[in-house]
Amino acid sequence: MDETQFLHLITTHQAIIHKICRLYRDNPQDREDLFQEIIFQLWRSVPSFQGKAKFSSWMYRIALNTAILPFRKKRPDIRYTDQLPDNPEEPHDPDEQQEQLFHALKQLNDADKALITLYLEDLSYKEIAEITGITENNVGVKLNRIKNKIQQLLKK
């Protein structure tokens, strides 16, 4: 893959990177730094991309690993409306709902954040399993637990 092809693919799929940056970093400068680091890691990893998986799946794996790497060292457009509980006291402003969801997601551990991010991107359990390295059944079980956690966090 040459530089032009790489840049085209990054441009096409950059929303993936922005969502991960927003989920794993709180301030704009840290998000920008993470975005740049993810691009760098993707470019470095291009020779390992064999085309067996979709480019977006491969990109997710690199981006998520890059986003959570600093945490590992310290320690041994999202579709969200279907995920929000029906609550008449809840704001009806989609931007406010999205902010509440992001706030809840940031409270999850890194592994749960990765799984729910992939789920919210409409990836199949099979694709999520390929990216994360866990079985499809385990993806389903974990996602159900994560959804319950998110609902509890949103009720607070």
What sign for the dihedral angle of Cα 135, 82, 23, 77?
Answer: positive
129-139 confidence digits (pLDDT tens): 888 888 999 99
pLDDT at position 90: 43
Question: What are the residue boundaries of the structural domains of the chain, listed by start?
Answer: 1-76, 80-156
> Cα dihedral angle (113, 132, 1, 41), rounded to 10 degrees?
50
Q: Is the pLDDT reported for residue 87 higher than 70?
A: no
CATH number for the domain whose boundaries are 80-156: 1.10.10.10
Q: Is the pLDDT reported for residue 141 higher than 90?
A: yes
pLDDT at position 79: 38
Three state DSSP letters for the chain: CCHHHHHHHHHHHHHHHHHHHHHHCCCHHHHHHHHHHHHHHHHHHHHHCCCCCCHHHHHHHHHHHHHHHHHHHHCCCCCCHHHCCCCCCCCCCHHHHHHHHHHHHHCCCHHHHHHHHHHHCCCCHHHHHHHHCCCHHHHHHHHHHHHHHHHHHHHC
29-84 confidence digits (pLDDT tens): 999 999 999 999 999 988 888 887 788 888 888 898 888 765 444 333 333 333 43
What architecture is domain 1-76?
A: Orthogonal Bundle (1.10)
Q: Which two tokens stand for residue 115?
A: 């799984």
List all residues 6 or more positions away from 148 whose beta carbon is below 8 Å from its beta carbon: none
